Amino acid sequence: MDRSSDTLHEISLKKKEKVPHVVHLTHLTTLDSIYHLRVGLSSLASSPHTSKWYMWLMWPLTLLSTMLTWIYGRTFVVERNHFNVLTLQTWVIAKYSVQYFLRSHENSINDLIEQAILEAEKKGV
């Protein structure tokens, strides 16, 4: 095992988080859109969203992730970019487009958006 990666990991944990200049707040659209995020499959994230035949094979995992985001959904950072002195972050609200049309999810979505805005303000964005 490479000890230098352990050291690098420890150093990175001690660093202060960089305050982003810009935060992009987004949400999931379709059930399989989670794979199009950068944390999903990079080959899908690098192309426009289209349904592929092999996505049907991933439906058990898709349903599991849908249930988890439906129950435990919260905002999370999915991407960090640094361009010279500009720092950008993409935050995802773990709610799907269909949930925006359900009145039962209206308050939870509004709460997630409000919490994300307050967290960004607290960080000094």
What is residue 40's predicted lDDT score, i.e. its pLDDT? Answer: 62
Is residue 42 predicted with pLDDT exceeding 70?
no
Is residue 1 predicted with pLDDT exceeding 70?
no
Report the pLDDT averaged over residues 81-104.
Answer: 84
- Tokens 């349904």 -> residue: 51
What is residue 61's predicted lDDT score, i.e. its pLDDT? Answer: 82
113, part of any domain? yes
116, part of any domain? yes
47, part of any domain? yes
Sheet architecture: strand order including 76-83 = 22-27, 86-93, 76-83
Domain span including residue 43: 18-123
Note the residue count of the chain: 125
Is residue 70 predicted with pLDDT exceeding 80?
no
What is residue 97's predicted lDDT score, i.e. its pLDDT? Answer: 79
6, part of any domain? no
105, part of any domain? yes
Whole-angstrom distance, CA of residue 22 vs CA of residue 43: 26
Count of structural domains, the chain: 1
